[in-house]
Structure 1
Amino acid sequence: MRFKVVPELRQQSFIETATRTLPLVPSSEDDCCGLLMADTGIDSRDVAREWITFLRALGQVAEADGKYYQRRDPVDDVAGAFRERVYAAETVIQTVEDSGEPLETAEVFERVRTEIPQWERNRRQDWEEVWYERVRRLLEWAVEFGHTERTTDGYHN
């Protein structure tokens, strides 16, 4: 299963903090959002929901019957989980790896846009803006997880 949600970049230590904030015993989404907002400085339920989903993608949080909890056996390779379980992360990272030269966000977007499913394009009028933002966030997280580097020339390996 791949997850589409990619929140704004935070340091990897935030992943640990957010994970520890969530309960060990399954709890409702509302309760988990409230805990994240109270303990991490997240300022809205929508952003808290994004983080719950992202933490699931990274193998830190699990879901059972619509309730969430921190996994007792979280995934150790968070960077690998990001690449494998976050939708389009592999494509974006591979694009940078294959380029042979630094790429700016717009260049990466142009190279991966053909990979964006038609149903995503049909889903909304502003799909290009939404996916450009998604690519930007994926690139930032790819740097944070050590898959790529960012210099003044762009993203590269």
Structure 2
Amino acid sequence: MRLKPVPEPPADLDALREFRRAVPLVPGDTDDCCARLRRRCDLPDRQTANDWLAFLRALDLVEETARGFVRADAEPTPERVREGLREEVLLVPEALAALDAASPDDPLTAADLFAATRERVPRHDRARDPDWEATWRDRAARLLGWLALVDLAAPVGDGPDIPESERGYVAGDAV
């Protein structure tokens, strides 16, 4: 089963290392790990911390043991993050296929990715969230940001005045 939560991508892999370091070396239960993530990474709430914990686990940077969660003995290299995204995160294969089909003249935007994957959004997410389309459109923008972080996507027309939700992408060098 693939993971749904996709937190805001960090600016670089060094920032991702800080999230990994916030998870204890000695196993802790979910509440303890989330509290530690919130405190050390200045996260706004427990749900955001829980999303990060699940996401770090999907990237094999955190392990779940019988005694709780623990920091994995692995660094967040571009290769490890790429593999985790490809293998464990919902809609990444579809995003990569859409990026392959995009061109600099017609780059993939978050709205395009959402339109291409709309029918794949789990039914229970649609039922429980009255604004599910906006939620999943935002998720598409974050997902493209993660793919760009590890060179699976490359921004087109990158600039500070282009909102993340409107930025276009094509396949990156690491595809």
Common fold: TM-score over 0.5: yes
Deviations 1:25-64 (A, max 9, x none): 2101221122222222223222111110110111100112
The answer to whether the 8 Å contact 2:110/2:138 transfers is no
Alignment root-mean-square deviation, CA: 2.1
Matched, 1:39 2:40: yes
Matched, 1:148 2:148: no
Identity %: 31
How far residue 123 of structure 1 moved from its aligned partner, in angstroms, is 3.8
| TM-score normalised by L of structure 1 | 0.87
Deviations 1:119-141 (A, max 9, x none): 44334332211211111111111
2:144 aligned partner: 139
The answer to whether the 8 Å contact 2:85/2:92 transfers is yes
1:25 aligned partner: 26
1:2 aligned partner: 2
The answer to whether the 8 Å contact 1:59/1:74 transfers is no
Report the CA distance shift for 1:29/1:96 in structure 2 as closer, same or farther (over 3 A): same
Report the CA distance shift for 1:45/1:118 in structure 2 as closer, same or farther (over 3 A): closer
How far residue 71 of structure 1 moved from its aligned partner, in angstroms, is 1.5
CA distance in 2, matches of 1:112, 1:140: 17
The answer to whether the 8 Å contact 1:61/1:74 transfers is no
Report the CA distance shift for 1:109/1:66 in structure 2 as closer, same or farther (over 3 A): farther
CA distance in 2, matches of 1:53, 1:150: 26
Mind listing any 5+ residue stretches in structure 2 that lack a counterpart?
158-166
CA distance in 2, matches of 1:140, 1:73: 22
1:91 aligned partner: 94
Aligned residues: 157
SS of residue in 1 equivalent to 2:84 = helix
